Amino acid sequence: MKNDANLDGIDRRIISELQRDASISHAELAERVGTSTASCWRRLKALEAANVLTRAVRLVNPGAIGRDVNVLCNVRVRSHAQEDTAAFEAFVLRRPEIVECFSMSGEWDYLLRIVVADVADYNEFLMRTLLPQSCVSGAASHFALSTVKYTTELPV
């Protein structure tokens, strides 16, 4: 199951259903995808073994915990030497407010999605935490005005 071609229709339905609601029982999942509970369980275990399905999580409403400001931050590292990129990536992994990080091609080296309570919270993070990192040479911040689409579901 290393690639998309090895997934049949039932596997795809299992993946789709679990992306919508990972808390359903195996019996409910089997009913939704049209197979027996035992067959569904075997397929689920095979998808997990093939690393198609990884961990199951619960999504949190950011506004309910006071973290409803999304900032997209472009970052440039001082150099592309292994030490600087490793230092930056280790920094990113330690920071809970950085919820996504992408290594980028083009003018900027990284794109971060940072969730904070408000602009002052972000300013504090930017000035006292991100920019003082010796491996960082610059950053450009963009505040999301609203969320038009947000999903964790991948097309299968």
Examine the pLDDT at 66 and tell me if it is beyond 60.
Answer: yes
Q: Which domain holds residue 25?
A: 7-49
Contacts of 128 (CB under 8 A, 6+ apart): none
Q: Any idea what the CATH number is for the domain that residue 16 is in?
A: 1.10.10.10
Q: pLDDT tens, 17-44?
A: 999 999 999 999 999 999 999 999 999 9
Tell me what percent of the residues of the chain surpass a pLDDT of 70.
97
Residue 126 lies in a domain: yes
Whether 41 and 113 map to the same domain: the answer is no
Domain tally for the chain?
Answer: 2
Domain of 85: which CATH number?
A: 3.30.70.920
Asked, for residue 98, whether it belongs to a domain, the answer is yes
User: Which long-range contacts does 2-7 make (Cβ < 8 Å, 24+ apart)?
Assistant: 2/50, 4/156, 7/52, 7/156
**Is residue 148 in a domain?**
no
**In this structure, are 98 and 134 located in the same domain?**
yes
pTM of the model: 0.88
- CA 151/CA 143 separation, integer angstroms: 19
| Whether residues 66 and 139 fall in one domain | yes
> For residue range 130-151, what is the model confidence (pLDDT) as tens digits?
999 999 999 999 999 999 999 9
Burial class for 130, CB neighbours closer than 10 Å (0-12, 13-18, 19+): buried
pLDDT digit string (tens) for 99-142? 999 999 999 999 999 999 999 999 999 999 999 999 999 999 99
